[in-house]
Amino acid sequence: MGYLDWVLPFLIVLSVLIFVHELGHYLVARWCGVRVEVFSIGFGKELFGWTDRAATRWKVSAVPLGGYVKMYGEETFGDSAEAATGGDAAPTAEDSFKNKSLGRRAAIVSAGPLANILFALAVLLGLFSVVGAPAPLAVVGSVQPGSAAAEASLAVGDVILAIDDEEIRWFEDVRRIVNVHPGEKLQFAIRRGDAELTLAATPRPTEQAEGGTTRLVGLLGIRPDLTKIGYEDLSLPQAASAAIGQTWGLATQIFDTLASIVQGNRPLDELGGPIRIAQLSGKVAQDGAISLLYFMAALSVNLALINLLPIPVLDGGHLLLYGIEAVTRRPLNKRIVEYAFRAGIVFVVGLMLLATWNDLKSLQVIEFFRRLVS
């Protein structure tokens, strides 16, 4: 896959997620009576755009690595003021973001990440309702040496058709049956290539901790082939439950990963930037629209949670400062806020540079230039 194959999927995925995020800010800002001057997808020079009747300039800019909503009365800390012209009336103090209550400002800031979470839920609900929930098929992906499966001669690539005459389709069914039959011989009907075989395997009795107690379960010693995925039909309530569970799982996975990196349990080179996202976008797009939608849902949750980190310039940083303002019951010193935001910019830019460096290393670009000069 060439570099150009990444570009279009990457731009589509990123533009949609940025639009959703900024639309959340925009809609709640308008609902709170704030005048929105600019809605931009991308940064830098405007490529094209238009001004609506509410005097909001909607535009697409040259650098497609983010976006923003510029509200009337919003602090810019030295950035050039940017406003649309036109509209029915000049802005007033009531239209200003900074004159809104602390609760309304917090609601506007929170709306971007919330929009990304709702987008992920909606996409997953739609996919689970229409296509079904992805689940590993009952195909053996690996066999642990010395395990019950190895002793029974189960092999990678075997398709498990039935266990003791109970038909099997999903790998989870294999796990469910094996777990409740520790030490009992089970008959496995499998397909290996074009042949169908019957093998006997006895799951190893193993004590497993659960809720402060231990119980005896059976273990076979196999893992699924995660390249062999099917879609399990779900009812609407099941699809809603699965969408919520999947979104929650994505959120906890992101926090666990970040915590492990901060604690030093995982290397910093696992941090990926725009180049790696572009790579993944291209690869996932080749697998079809369903895979691309799942990827967008996961990335949307990622974008929401990253924005909620308590770092000034991110939405979470704004909310942190609003929290301090709520506790102290007075506006924060503008100079302190400005320094906090400048420090936040330095941190975020540094993080982006580190992520981009990791991307370049993964593509072996750094090694290429080392070879040129050595």
Domain presence at residue 10: no
Average pLDDT over residues 83-97: 63
pLDDT at 82 over 70: no
| Residue range of the domain that includes 203 | 135-230
Report, as residue numbers or ranges, the catalytic residues: 22
Q: What CATH number has the domain bearing residue 147?
A: 2.30.42.10
Residues 298 and 361 in one domain: yes
Same domain, 363 and 294: yes
pLDDT in tens, 308-330: 888 888 888 889 888 888 888 88
pLDDT of residue 368 exceeding 70: no
| Percent of residues in the chain assigned helix, strand, coil, to nearest 5 | 50, 20, 30
Q: How many domains does the chain have?
A: 2
Compute the Cα dihedral for 20, 25, 31, 37 and give only its sign.
negative
Residue 36 CA to residue 228 CA, distance in Å, equals: 48
Say how many CA atoms lie within 13 Å of 185 toward its Cβ: 5
From residue 22, alpha-carbon distances to 8, 26, 99, 251, 309 in Å are 21, 6, 21, 20, 17
Question: 364 and 240 in one domain?
Answer: yes
Average confidence score pLDDT of the chain: 82
pLDDT higher than 70, residue 8:
yes
The pair of three-digit structure tokens given for residue 118, joined into one six-digit string: 């709702």
pLDDT digits (tens, 9 = 90+) for 19-72: 999 999 999 999 999 999 999 998 889 999 999 998 899 999 988 878 889 998
Q: Grade residue 11 by pLDDT with cuts at 50, 70 and 90.
A: confident
Residue 253 and residue 156 share a domain: no
Residue that is last in its domain, among 200, 230, 260: 230
Reported as type and span, the H/E element at residue 241 is helix 236-262
Please, which pLDDT band fits residue 261 given cuts at 50, 70 and 90?
low
DSSP 8-state secondary structure symbol assigned to residue 153: T
Q: Residue 105 has which token pair?
A: 């400002």
Say whether pLDDT at 259 is over 60.
yes
Cα–chain-centroid distance for residue 373?
Answer: 39
